[in-house]
Amino acid sequence: MRLGLVLSEVGHGLRRNISMVISIVLVTFISLTFVGAAILLQLQINQMKGYWYDRAQVAVYLCTQYDEGGNCNAEEATAQQKSNIEQVLKSAVLAPLIQHYDFEDHEAAFKRYQAQFAGAEGTSFVTPDFLPETFWVNLKDPSQSDAVVERMSGVPGVEQVVDQRKYLQPIFDALNAASITAVGIAGLMLIAAVLLIATTIRLSAFSRRRELGIMRLVGASNRFIQTPFVLEGVVAALIGSALASGAIVAVVQFFVQGYLNATPSSTPFVDLGDAFIVVPILIVGGAGLAAISAAVAIRRYLKV
Amino acid sequence: MVMIRFDQVTKLYAGSARPALNSVTLEILRGEFVFLVGASGSGKSSFLRLVLKEENPSKGQIHVLGQELGKLSSRKVPYFRRNLGVVFQDFRLLPQKSVFDNVAFSLQVIGKSKGFIQEAVPDVLKMVGLAGKSGRLPHELSGGEQQRVAIARAIVNKPSILLADEPTGNLDPATSAGIMTLLERISGGGTTVLMATHDAGIVDKMKRRVIELVSGQIVRDESQGGYQTQALPVQRQAPPPTASGFGAPS
């Protein structure tokens, strides 16, 4: 009996304010889509960090006869220097940080080069002695690369030491900036959504002030008076959240998986599993926000 | 048994130097029929609003149905009001709901069952003399009939106290007499009726307890009074001395 009455009141209110309800739906839809996009971007960043940081190595490039930078003097690193470098890698200072390291000689570097740039123009001019011999160092904790870079840079025979993570940082910075922008837009839109919900609920209450007056007079409980209005806001916001969730799932399914993932690249992308982490956040967040703003908006009409 | 007790109650509204009610003390007992008379602005409506706890007194204590209203939390006010019925001069019916639905609405919103409503509403409509008109909309009824619907709505939950704020103010004398007969019948059933009115004819004819307010003070409390005093006014507190004097029958 009571549930039916409450629901019929909700339906009544929604129909009476249909244009306001549509604007709530649209504003929550757009704002929550931005929220969802920001969360997806963060998930993408984490995924890429996990993937690349595991693979990122510190490269200790040795001198070739063409190098004059670093500790080089246009002379190939000598066997003595190489063994010295290896001693440093095995030293008590660095050994605990290093998981393992590999040595890559000119031939191996050349093979890798040929494989990487197969078919590219100009590769035929490159000979193995152009490509530096390299110690590839895998760290136990990639964030401690600075110690290795600093220690190795001064060793004779080392041309330069490069932490591959540094190449990734600009990408993460760009993604981070994009997600902060999305959060900013989402925040502004959510403020608009909250104000719109509050205004709609006040309008709805105003158009039902006769009923509200009688309800208060005959002793309807505050909860009973409040519930239809709160539900009205929640229903409108839920439709918006559902649309936003659909948009997020569609973007992941068709753009990220269907398009980005189809391009030849070994970068891992967010998948539907990630999208389904975002969906409940949007639904619960949207409904919760609507419930709170509607409850605050209707409070004035409950004052006894 | 005391249903309503005012103890030195003063009501001041913000922005007004003169209190709407000034140190009012009275008791109303179970089953009494009480007229509240006085000029517009004398404090009758404030009195009723205080009983309903629509407002709180600036000073003094109010007990209604054994509860001290000042100690009633706002969460409990709705449950307190379920023991009170109220009717107004302007009926306050819901125009898009039928007679039956108007009365049923007040039961629905306090969570009464469908079965209870199906029994109680026809009973109360029969009692107020609208048995055959339960499907009508308010605008299809005469003023007197609309007020009967409002009374039905007020008493359908069997309240202990019925407050009526000028219930005959919009009605012609013959129709008013019908409404008064109905209120008398309700009072006869044990309900305490407190009615604010300007209608001298009704008050004189009914010979019930009359409380007269002037400028927020009780100047007369007669057990079988008329609209204007037949005896010396019962004054619990000296009125403020004025040049014209007051209390003399005109």
CA angle A87, A93, A95 (to 5 degrees): 65
CA distances from residue A33 to A48, A52, A260, A285 in whole angstroms, order as listed: 22, 28, 20, 12
What average pLDDT is seen over chain B? 89
Tell me whether A4 touches chain B (CB under 8 Å).
no
> Model pTM?
0.72
Q: Give pLDDT tens digits for B25-82.
A: 999 999 999 999 998 889 999 999 999 999 999 999 999 999 999 999 988 999 999 9
Q: Give pLDDT tens digits for A50-60.
A: 887 777 788 88
What is the bridge-based pairing of β-strands B33-37 and B209-214? parallel
Helix (H, G, I), strand (E, B) or coil at A61: strand
Mutate to test the interface with B, among A209, A217, A225, A302 (most CBs of B within 10 A): A217
Could you give the residue range(s) of every CATH 3.30.70.3040 domain in chain A? 57-163
Helix (H, G, I), strand (E, B) or coil at A162: strand
Measured distance CA(B104)–CA(B123) in Å, rounded:
12
Measured distance CA(A10)–CA(A297) in Å, rounded:
16
- pLDDT band for position A301 (50/70/90)? confident
Q: Give pLDDT tens digits for A190-218.
A: 898 899 999 988 888 888 889 899 999 99
Mutate to test the interface with A, among B91, B109, B153 (most CBs of A within 10 A): B109
Q: Give pLDDT tens digits for A38-95.
A: 999 888 888 887 887 777 788 889 888 888 777 787 888 888 888 888 888 888 888 8
Name beta bridge partners: B163: B86, B194
Measured distance CA(A227)–CA(A6) in Å, rounded:
7
DSSP A262: G
Identity of the residue numbered A234: V
Measured distance CA(A133)–CA(A158) in Å, rounded:
10
Give the Cβ contact number of residue A227 at 10 Å: 19
Tokens of B214: 């002037």
Tokens of A304: 């006894």
DSSP percent split of chain A into helix, strand, coil, nearest 5: 70, 10, 20
Give the Cβ contact number of residue A119 at 10 Å: 6
Q: Which residues of A touch B164 (CB under 8 A)?
A: none
pLDDT surpassing 50 at residue B123: yes
pLDDT of residue B232: 55
Tell me whether A271 touches chain B (CB under 8 Å).
no
B81: nearest CB among A1, A218, A224: A218
Contact between residue B125 and residue B82 where contact means Cβ atoms under 8 Å apart: no
Residue of B nearest to A224 (CA): B109
- pLDDT band for position B242 (50/70/90)? low
Tell me whether A3 touches chain B (CB under 8 Å).
no
CATH label, A57-163, candidates 3.30.70.3040, 3.30.420.40, 3.90.1640.10, 1.10.150.120: 3.30.70.3040
DSSP B184: H
- pLDDT band for position B247 (50/70/90)? very low
Q: Give pLDDT tens digits for B192-234.
A: 999 999 888 899 999 999 999 999 999 989 888 778 765 555 5
pLDDT of residue A36: 93
CA distances from residue B19 to A81, A119, B145 in whole angstroms, order as listed: 102, 99, 37
Tell me whether A216 touches chain B (CB under 8 Å).
yes
Measured distance CA(A246)–CA(A240) in Å, rounded:
10
Residue located via tokens 């509607």: A294
Contact between residue A245 and residue A279 where contact means Cβ atoms under 8 Å apart: yes
Element (H, E) at A101: strand A98-104
Q: Which residues of B touch A304 (CB under 8 A)?
A: 53-54, 74, 77-78
